[in-house]
Structure 1
Amino acid sequence: MHNATSRELNVDVAIIGAGPAGLTAGYLLTKAGKSVAIIEKDETYVGGISRTVEHEGYRFDIGGHRFFSKSAAVVDLWNEILPDDFIQRPRMSRIYYEGKFYSYPLRAFEALSNLGILRSTACMASYLWYKAFPIKTVKSFEDWTTNQFGQKLYSIFFKTYTEKVWGMPCDEMSADWAAQRIKGLSLWSAVTDGLKRSLGLNKKPNDGMETKTLLETFRYPRQGPGMMWEAARDKIVATGKGQVIMGYGLEQLAADGEGGWRMSATNKDGDKVVVKAGHAISSAPMRELGARLHPLPETSWNGSNLKYRDFLTVALMVEGEDLFPDNWIYIHDSKVQVGRVQNFRSWSPEMIPDEKMACVGLEYFCFEGDGLWDMADADLVDLATTEMKTLGLLDPAKVKGGAVVRQEKAYPVYDEDYAANVAAMRGELEHKYQTLHLVGRNGMHRYNNQDHAMMTAMLTVENILAGERVYDIWCVNEDAEYHEAGDEGAEKALPAREQVSEDQAAALNSMRDVPERIVEADADETAADRRVA
Structure 2
Amino acid sequence: MLNARMLNARTLNARMLNARRACSARKRDRRLRGGRGRLAVSLRVAVIGAGPAGATAAYCLAKAGVEVDVYEASGGVGGLARSVGLWGQTVGLGPQHFFSTDPRVNELWLEVIGGDYEMVEPVTRIHPPRAALSTARLGALIRQWQRAQATPPTFAHLRAALPTFAHPGVALSTSRLGARIRQWQRPRTALPAFAHLRAALPTFAHPGAALSTSRLGALIRQWQRPQATLPTFAHLRAALPTFAHPGAALSTSRLGALIRQWQRARTALPAFAHPRQGPGEVYSRMCEFVEKQGGRVHLNTPVARLVLDDGRVTGVQLNNDGVREHDHVVSSMPLAVLTGRLPDVPAEVAAAGAQLTLCNTVVVFLRTNAQSVFPDTWVNVRDPDLHTGRITNFDNWVPAAKHGEPETILALEYWCTSEHDFWRWEDEEYVRFAREELIDTGLVEAGEVLDGVALRVPKSIPVYRESQLQHQAVVEEHLKGLAGLEVIGPHGPFARNRQDFSILMGLLAAENIVEDAGHDLWADPATHAHPATSRITATGLAY
Q: TM-score, normalised by structure 2?
A: 0.66
In our comparison, the structure showing a higher alpha carbon Rg is 2
Alignment of 1:132-531 (within 5 A): 188-190=237-239, 201-203=250-252, 204-205=254-255, 206=258, 216-240=270-294, 242-257=295-310, 259-266=312-319, 271-297=320-346, 299-302=348-351, 303-431=353-481, 433-444=482-493, 446-467=495-516, 470-477=518-525, 488=535
- Distance in 2 of aligned mates of 1:91 and 1:190: 21
- Distance in 1 of aligned mates of 2:336 and 2:200: 46
Corresponding letter in the other structure for 1:90? E
Aligned mate of 1:85, from 109, 116, 119: 116
> Which runs of 5 or more residues in structure 1 are unaligned?
1-9, 102-111, 133-184, 491-533
Q: CA deviation at 1:67?
A: 2.0
Q: CA deviation at 1:295?
A: 2.9
- Residues 474/448 of structure 1: CA separation in 2 closer, same or farther (3 Å cut): farther
- Residues 466/225 of structure 1: CA separation in 2 closer, same or farther (3 Å cut): same
Aligned residue in 2 for 1:46: 77
Aligned residue in 2 for 1:22: 54
- Distance in 2 of aligned mates of 1:462 and 1:297: 30
Q: The residue matched to 2:388 in structure 1 has which SS?
A: coil
Residue 74 of structure 1 pairs with residue 122 of structure 2? no
Q: CA deviation at 1:435?
A: 1.1
Corresponding letter in the other structure for 1:246? L
- Distance in 2 of aligned mates of 1:265 and 1:128: 70
Q: CA deviation at 1:393?
A: 1.2
Q: CA deviation at 1:119?
A: 4.9
Identical aligned residues as a percent: 28
Moved more, 24-33 or 206-215: 206-215
Moved more, 313-322 or 443-452: 443-452
Q: CA deviation at 1:300?
A: 4.2
Q: CA deviation at 1:231?
A: 0.5
- Distance in 1 of aligned mates of 2:300 and 2:363: 22
Q: CA deviation at 1:63?
A: 3.1
- Distance in 2 of aligned mates of 1:130 and 1:299: 55
Q: The residue matched to 1:320 in structure 2 has which SS?
A: coil
- Residues 26/91 of structure 1: CA separation in 2 closer, same or farther (3 Å cut): same
Q: CA deviation at 1:72?
A: 0.5
Q: CA deviation at 1:356?
A: 2.2
- Distance in 2 of aligned mates of 1:18 and 1:49: 10
Q: CA deviation at 1:399?
A: 1.5
Corresponding letter in the other structure for 1:263? V
Q: The residue matched to 1:421 in structure 2 has which SS?
A: helix
Q: CA deviation at 1:390?
A: 1.5
- Distance in 2 of aligned mates of 1:50 and 1:385: 24
- Distance in 2 of aligned mates of 1:454 and 1:307: 24
What is the alpha-carbon root mean square deviation over aligned residues? 3.8
- Distance in 1 of aligned mates of 2:80 and 2:168: 43
Q: CA deviation at 1:355?
A: 3.3
Q: The residue matched to 2:326 in structure 1 has which SS?
A: strand
- Cα-to-partner distance string for 1:210-259 (whole Å, 9 max, x where unaligned): 9869555221001211111110110010011x111111111110113384
- Cα-to-partner distance string for 1:446-503 (whole Å, 9 max, x where unaligned): 1341111111121111111134x62112235289xx9xxx85279xxxxxxxxxxxxx
- Cα-to-partner distance string for 1:349-397 (whole Å, 9 max, x where unaligned): 2333453211111112322342332222112211121122222111221
- The 8 Å contact of residues 284 and 443 in structure 1, kept in 2 or not, is answered as yes
- Cα-to-partner distance string for 1:314-371 (whole Å, 9 max, x where unaligned): 1111113120121101222223222211011212223334532111111123223423
Corresponding letter in the other structure for 2:89? Y
- Distance in 1 of aligned mates of 2:514 and 2:129: 56
Q: CA deviation at 1:189?
A: 4.7
Q: The residue matched to 1:390 in structure 2 has which SS?
A: helix
Corresponding letter in the other structure for 1:24? T
- The 8 Å contact of residues 73 and 489 in structure 1, kept in 2 or not, is answered as no
Q: TM-score, normalised by structure 1?
A: 0.67
- Distance in 1 of aligned mates of 2:307 and 2:270: 49
- Cα-to-partner distance string for 1:376-426 (whole Å, 9 max, x where unaligned): 211221112112222211122122110111222332223132212211122
- The 8 Å contact of residues 131 and 169 in structure 2, kept in 1 or not, is answered as no
- Distance in 1 of aligned mates of 2:426 and 2:467: 34
- Residues 190/99 of structure 1: CA separation in 2 closer, same or farther (3 Å cut): closer
Q: CA deviation at 1:91?
A: 1.6
Q: CA deviation at 1:36?
A: 1.2
Aligned residue in 2 for 1:135: none
Q: The residue matched to 2:492 in structure 1 has which SS?
A: helix
Aligned residue in 2 for 1:118: 165
Q: CA deviation at 1:55?
A: 2.8
- Cα-to-partner distance string for 1:288-322 (whole Å, 9 max, x where unaligned): 11111123246445211111233211111111312
Q: The residue matched to 2:60 in structure 1 has which SS?
A: helix
Aligned mate of 1:96, from 105, 116, 127: 127
- Residues 415/123 of structure 1: CA separation in 2 closer, same or farther (3 Å cut): farther
Corresponding letter in the other structure for 1:308? L
Residue 59 of structure 1 pairs with residue 87 of structure 2? no
Moved more, 330-339 or 384-393: 330-339
Q: The residue matched to 1:263 in structure 2 has which SS?
A: strand
- Residues 263/210 of structure 1: CA separation in 2 closer, same or farther (3 Å cut): same
- Cα-to-partner distance string for 1:19-71 (whole Å, 9 max, x where unaligned): 1111111111111011111110112x101111112234233311322221011
- Residues 288/445 of structure 1: CA separation in 2 closer, same or farther (3 Å cut): farther
- The 8 Å contact of residues 78 and 283 in structure 2, kept in 1 or not, is answered as yes
Q: The residue matched to 2:444 in structure 1 has which SS?
A: coil
- Distance in 1 of aligned mates of 2:419 and 2:311: 41
- Residues 214/330 of structure 1: CA separation in 2 closer, same or farther (3 Å cut): closer
- Residues 123/210 of structure 1: CA separation in 2 closer, same or farther (3 Å cut): closer
- The 8 Å contact of residues 97 and 331 in structure 1, kept in 2 or not, is answered as yes
Aligned residue in 1 for 2:231: none
